Chains A and B, each alone.
Chain A
């Protein structure tokens, strides 16, 4: 079972945190901090796996992937396969990339509710639900379409990207 998905930047600021078994807010912060502590101490060109039983309890490990300024971290137990989890991160990032057209940290920051939507299509209650990024995007787009249809919320102008370009 997948215990948690954490996205944080290289300074340790959480960008997305989803725990599949409930953790109180303070505990979440503590976990995120310890994960960051472990990740930041790891050199380049080492394996993407870390045994996490000192952070998340017995029989847990985490797989992380470093993209530009972001760490994507999946925490899971022995019923999952490390290499497969690595690929699941890949699926997640690929999907984000397709959704946001060259995803960058800012996309993640500003759209973390969309991140959650995407993640919910990939992982459901701690189990892998879907591994094809095209399928995920299809589902997410369908949701978006219906959401648009069901309300008349005015859109925020694209001016944000002006700031993003700085």
Chain B
């Protein structure tokens, strides 16, 4: 087929497209399009337009609308075109209609009839076209009109029709689950359709159904597993292959379903182990789609009750994703997969620290965000400082308000959960408020106030007051800064009001002065002013209560005067209250404004029982008794009714079915019909509907207003007769209880974070070190190095060891355990790749990524000295290793080895010595020292020498390029 042939556009249209393509500005484009619209408006209403012309006009309308201009004047013509007998015109009509109309557009009612007819057509292409339209145009109300035909099509001889019929049913389910509730068994049935394509299509609705309710589909686990097995084993026809993968999209869908079904279900999960392992093995990791399936496998493994073997495969694939230096897509998937896996085994993250940090510093924003998400998931008390700092830095750097808000709230969450100290917490919160300002949710500010009021430690009053005074101090420091966001100012005012004078460090007049400044600096912000005035009132009240005389500053007095004349009644009231409080005596003030009582529960007598006497008195005097709002008929407003109606529509005292009789389809919409009856409903609606349709064709506006009016009437009826039980006390009741619950939660969280002393460790490791990439090392250590037992698994990371050695004696005791763990680690990995000597080289040694092994080899070959110079950077590192070993019993041995002179330096030997070095680094103990050369080196004496040479020149194995070494060996 030629590129433009057969698609019949006229010269006019081509000219239009061309001229729009050549425009330089949006204004010019708009002018051309407006012109075109004028032409179309004129032409399309001309009588006796040939159909061919009409089709083109419709296409031009679609084009115009795609460019963002209104083409509604032509919709009716598109609708008319769907009635045409010619397939081409019909298809064009349907295409235009599906693009133009929304599913409750007035014109839809005109199309339903056509769709019904077309669904019954002999020509399967017409049926397919109609099904496409069904997906887009049929809404809840019109589903019953086409449902019988669509269900019938499930048995159509053409598989493409069956496929689309299933998809259409799926769409109905998405639109209105109740409308097809009785047909759900069809999806199960179609799973065993002869055509794999139909089966694949069935997986989409099943996926949605299983999301809604996994338990009723547990019996399908075995079928799904066996289908997946067959697909993976290439039992499907070749035509389902995509890039040499057998039906990858079906595999992905199945894996998603299995992930849902196996979640938290050990028995179901066990069925899946074999097939998952199979897919891990079979997938082609070089193609994009292969990786897609692998990624889905990881998701599945992380969701189901996992087996250690599968987890291992998953971790392996993840690390391969992360190591793809050229593909950001795979890195992204890798980070995502890592985020899923660490939920099950957190130690996996530590193998990839540098990859993660690389992603964090990547220019790609998407990758960065994904990495922040990962960091957010793996935050612990030990690394919260680094992560929060990073997040805030990133938050400052971006402009995207949506993401800024998100990351700010995450920061706050982490800070609240893991804060290592009060100081840090308050500083972090200040930073977040300062930079994300008004994007932060108001709740966050309220949380912060509550946290300061309630304190961190629960019992420890001292810590609490320390928290408060450090908050006061830090707020007084920043209060003068310009452009503070309103929310932060509110917090500041509140805290200064409550606790400004609590520790006696600052005088009342100093604080009130500051508060007056705040109010003056933000003349347009009523909320801040209100906070400030109330804060001033509190401070004065506390002063009066302690018996001191309050001298109002002149600026404070002028503020009060100003606010008493304010337009805002709230501000006025506050100002007058303040003035009144100033005139009261100490005892009264003490009762009104008790000091530090923000956390006390305020008891509210909701029944207003204290008024009973007064009410009685009035009644005796002849007053009319109070009629509750709910009993005053006709007064309940619609919103009240609606909100209640959602909750318990079934408890209505009155039934409304009688009003709905004229239109059965509406009845089915308004009241979810029980399963059994709805089956009958479908055929019932059939005879009535076509009738209405034909009416509709003649006078379009009547039937479409019909149902909506009916609906309106119903509303009126319900409003009038609905059971009047709305009681205003309910919301306030739940409100107070929920608040208490929130308080409880906050306290729980706080208790969980009492003493995160371990962070000292990570601080130590952040000391400057001369490394290949010291910053990354630092970051890695601070991010991942929190829990000491886990980091022990990374023995080759010198940064870690040196910090261990340098840190205090208590830490030293951890070294033996660390080395033990490392030997296990090495042994575990040993049997995998074939050449055993290279094994340890392949071991990732994050510290030395930048060293190019080739360059070092070149440097080594000619002479010793030059190579030392060549790899000068690593000299300090080797000394680090030496100093490390000097701590251990084998130091003497090392010394002698190091003294041996260099001999012949062919590359193979060098390699073996390298591997030995790596060995030693890994094993670290004297016992391993004896074993390693014998087992691994060709000649123990020789390899010891090479090892020494290697040590002298500071060559250390690099994990980044293991293949390089393999190539060299041949």
Co-complex (A, B): yes
Q: Which residues of A contact B (CB under 8 A)?
A: 1, 13-14, 16-18, 20, 22, 24-26, 28-29, 42-43, 45-51, 53-54, 79, 81-84, 86-87, 90-91, 99-101, 107, 109-114, 116-117, 120, 124-132, 134-135, 139, 141-144, 146-148, 150-151, 153-156, 158, 160-161, 163-164
Cross-chain contact B68 with A28 (CB below 8 angstroms): yes
B616 on the A face (CB < 8 A): no
Among residues of B, the one whose C-beta sits closest to the C-beta of A163 is B18
Among the listed B160, B168, B363, which residue makes an inter-chain contact with A46, where contact means beta carbons less than 8 Å apart?
B363
Cross-chain contact A129 with B332 (CB below 8 angstroms): no
Bound complex: CA A49 to CA B249 (Å) = 19
- List B residues 157-216 near A (Cβ within 8 Å): 160, 163-164, 167-168, 170-171, 174, 197, 201, 204, 207, 211
Which 4 A-B residue pairs are closest in the complex by CB-CB distance?
A83-B292, A54-B402, A47-B328, A125-B135
A-B contact count (CB 8 A): 209
Q: Which residues of B contact A151 (CB under 8 A)?
A: 51-52, 86-89
Cross-chain contact B329 with A84 (CB below 8 angstroms): no
Cross-chain contact B4 with A81 (CB below 8 angstroms): no
Among the listed A13, A42, A86, A134, which residue makes an inter-chain contact with B329, where contact means beta carbons less than 8 Å apart?
A86
List 17 contacting pairs A-B, 8 Å CB cutoff, sorted by A: A24-B102, A46-B363, A47-B328, A49-B332, A54-B400, A54-B403, A81-B252, A82-B332, A87-B292, A117-B91, A120-B132, A124-B164, A128-B249, A150-B85, A151-B86, A154-B52, A156-B8
Among B9-17, B410-418, B947-955, the one that faces the other chain is B9-17
Q: Which residues of B contact A25 (CB under 8 A)?
A: 65, 68-70
Among the listed B63, B65, B132, which residue makes an inter-chain contact with A124, where contact means beta carbons less than 8 Å apart?
B132
Cross-chain contact A146 with B160 (CB below 8 angstroms): no
Among residues of B, the one whose C-beta sits closest to the C-beta of A112 is B63
Among the listed B3, B69, B170, B256, which residue makes an inter-chain contact with A79, where contact means beta carbons less than 8 Å apart?
B256
- List B residues 225-259 near A (Cβ within 8 Å): 239-240, 242-243, 248-249, 252, 256
Among the listed B20, B333, B364, which residue makes an inter-chain contact with A82, where contact means beta carbons less than 8 Å apart?
B333
Q: Which residues of B contact A125 (CB under 8 A)?
A: 132, 135-136, 167-168, 170-171
B89 to chain A, nearest CB (A): 7
B263 on the A face (CB < 8 A): no
Q: Which residues of B contact A (CB under 8 A)?
A: 1-11, 14, 17-18, 20-21, 51-52, 55, 59, 62-63, 65-70, 85-89, 91-92, 95, 99, 101-103, 123, 125, 132, 135-136, 160, 163-164, 167-168, 170-171, 174, 197, 201, 204, 207, 211, 239-240, 242-243, 248-249, 252, 256, 288-289, 291-292, 295-296, 328-329, 331-333, 362-367, 369, 400-403
Q: Which residues of A contact B197 (CB under 8 A)?
A: 130
Q: Which residues of A contact B6 (CB under 8 A)?
A: 144, 148, 155
Bound complex: CA A43 to CA B14 (Å) = 34
Cross-chain contact B2 with A81 (CB below 8 angstroms): no
Bound complex: CA A142 to CA B362 (Å) = 48
B423 to chain A, nearest CB (A): 34
B202 to chain A, nearest CB (A): 11
Is chain B's binding surface mostly helix, strand, loop or mixed?
Answer: helix
A129-B164 contact, Cβ under 8 Å, with A46-B366, A81-B295, A144-B1: yes
Bound complex: CA A87 to CA B245 (Å) = 12
Cross-chain contact A84 with B289 (CB below 8 angstroms): yes
Q: Which residues of B contact A155 (CB under 8 A)?
A: 5-6, 8
A100-B3 contact, Cβ under 8 Å, with A26-B68, A47-B332, A160-B14: yes
Most buried by B among A79, A120, A158: A120
A2 to chain B, nearest CB (A): 11
A129-B167 contact, Cβ under 8 Å, with A24-B102, A84-B289, A146-B87: yes
Q: Which residues of B contact A116 (CB under 8 A)?
A: 95, 99
Q: Which residues of B contact A127 (CB under 8 A)?
A: 167, 170, 201, 204
Among the listed B8, B18, B95, B101, which residue makes an inter-chain contact with A154, where contact means beta carbons less than 8 Å apart?
B8
A153-B333 contact, Cβ under 8 Å, with A81-B252, A144-B1: no
Bound complex: CA A13 to CA B28 (Å) = 14
Bound complex: CA A87 to CA B243 (Å) = 10
A47-B366 contact, Cβ under 8 Å, with A147-B88, A156-B7: yes
Among the listed A16, A18, A43, A150, which residue makes an inter-chain contact with B88, where contact means beta carbons less than 8 Å apart?
A150
Bound complex: CA A57 to CA B1 (Å) = 40
Among residues of A, the one whose C-beta sits closest to the C-beta of B69 is A25
Cross-chain contact A153 with B366 (CB below 8 angstroms): no
Cross-chain contact A141 with B1 (CB below 8 angstroms): yes
Q: Which residues of A contact B365 (CB under 8 A)?
A: 42, 46, 50
Bound complex: CA A46 to CA B331 (Å) = 10
Q: Which residues of A contact B171 (CB under 8 A)?
A: 125-126
Cross-chain contact A156 with B3 (CB below 8 angstroms): no
Cross-chain contact A101 with B242 (CB below 8 angstroms): no
Cross-chain contact B331 with A147 (CB below 8 angstroms): no
Q: Which residues of B contact A150 (CB under 8 A)?
A: 85-88
Among the listed B91, B402, B403, which residue makes an inter-chain contact with A143, where contact means beta carbons less than 8 Å apart?
B91
A158-B4 contact, Cβ under 8 Å, with A46-B367, A86-B288: yes
Cross-chain contact B329 with A161 (CB below 8 angstroms): no
Bound complex: CA A144 to CA B249 (Å) = 27
Contacts A45-B328, A46-B363, A125-B132 supplied; 5 other A-B pairs, CB < 8 Å: A49-B332, A82-B292, A151-B89, A160-B14, A161-B3
A19 to chain B, nearest CB (A): 9
A109-B17 contact, Cβ under 8 Å, with A50-B366, A124-B164, A127-B201: yes
Among residues of B, the one whose C-beta sits closest to the C-beta of A12 is B26
Most buried by A among B59, B89, B167, B403: B167
Bound complex: CA A4 to CA B132 (Å) = 15
Bound complex: CA A67 to CA B919 (Å) = 49
Among residues of B, the one whose C-beta sits closest to the C-beta of A62 is B366
A99-B125 contact, Cβ under 8 Å, with A25-B68, A79-B256, A82-B332: no
B764 to chain A, nearest CB (A): 36
